[in-house]
Copies of this chain bind each other. A is one copy, B any other.
Amino acid sequence: MTNKQLQSAIRELKKLKIGLFNKDFLLTWEHSDDEIKAATLVTDILKEMHKAGISTRLFDTGLAISIFRDKSTRTRFSYASAVNALGLGLSELDEEKSQIAHGETVRETANMISFLTEVIGIRDDMFLGEGNKYMREVGADVQEGHEKGVLHRRPSVINLQCDIDHPTQTLADLMQLKSHFGSLENLRGKKIAMTWAYSPSYGKPLSVPQGIIGLMTRFGMDVSLAYPQGYDLIPDVIDVAKKNAKQHKGSFEIVESMDNAFTNADVVYPKSWAPYQVMQRRTELLKMNDKQGLTNLEKECLANNSQYKNWECDQKKMQLTKGGKALYMHCLPADISGVSCQQGEVSKEVFEKYRLATYAEAGYKPFVIAALIVLTRIQNPAAKLQSILKRKRNRAI
């Protein structure tokens, strides 16, 4: 991107109708096409500024909070990178996995951590029906705190992965597709295969496949979702995908074989997940702390999984894709056969071929998070980005 291109991206941004200021970002499908487009533009702009060595600092001081209710390395560092790039300081609130606090405790904590806070990033994907709900609760609590004069500013809550969606991941995926095909417009008519894949573990979240079908159907893509019988996603999200496909003149189908989905695909995204009915049972067992029940469920699920070991993305399956050279995508870490496990989601050969592409895909995430912070914290993002471009401050002083 030249400076001219940066300027043109900012001009494009200026034209969009964006209503994200002081709001939360929890599900991509709650936001308008203009807002999603704005997110991609700001991501591009910030990434190019970083590449050019231009400082993207927008805050002299201020806090960004992260709440990780699950272990995380990747997202943790993406968030840390994003908030640092904007000049915010990071404070992490680590909660035990099992501690699902609700009600007064959440209400109080949400305010207690927010007195000088701009943004709260939350990852909570273990319990079906809980993660997104918790984020909304935090958002409502700081809203009340701000309205009642407790908080000078109303921090924005950003979903760093919940039980329903993983917007910072899928927007990074979208950036990868935008880069791969040249523009968002070029995605129209391209086929993406979002398919289940075998993994020797069980209980992986649904947020990525759900997020992908919810987002990519908005760009006129032909979205083919494939999974073995019983590995259903949350029905409401299926409805979102259907509605989006219809509205944006793309298509959405559910098929029962990887081969079927891969056939003629431009993009493949093979990834393990647990059936949502299993996640529901698991959530109940976790809540009751029923260890025997959890062990039994794991055994049952792994036995079930093992029927579908052939759901592996290998070279033979890749041959089915358009010209045999679809773009392989993954949110990482992938279960790579013969590398990170005996048999997994993807063969060693296929992964190695696309390894650096998946790194590049992940490389968008810090900038996506930064973009969502810019859009939710800055009233006029185009003008602000213009002004930090103009000030020509180098990141290395």
Bound CA span A248–B94, Å:
45
Q: Secondary structure of the A side of the interface?
A: mixed
Partner of A81, one of B81, B117, B365: B117
Complex interface residues of chain A between 353 and 391 (CB less than 8 A to chain B): 356, 359-360, 362-363, 365-366, 377-378, 388
Known A104-B339, A362-B112; judge A58-B152 contact (CB<8 A).
no
Known A84-B89, A150-B359; judge A109-B73 contact (CB<8 A).
yes
Contact A111 B359 (CB under 8 A): yes
In the assembled complex, A91 has its CB within 8 A of some CB on chain B:
yes
Contact B396 A58 (CB under 8 A): yes
Contact B396 A104 (CB under 8 A): no
Partner of A85, one of B61, B84, B363: B61
* Residues of B with C-beta under 8 A to A109: 73
A92-123 interface code vs B (CB 8 A; 1 in, 0 out): 01000000000111001101110111000000
Please name 27 pairs of A and B residues whose Cβ atoms are closer than 8 Å in the assembled complex, sorted by A: A50-B116, A55-B60, A56-B61, A57-B397, A58-B397, A60-B393, A60-B394, A60-B395, A60-B396, A61-B85, A77-B93, A77-B113, A80-B89, A81-B116, A84-B91, A87-B397, A104-B336, A108-B333, A112-B332, A115-B363, A115-B366, A144-B356, A145-B359, A149-B360, A150-B359, A377-B396, A388-B397
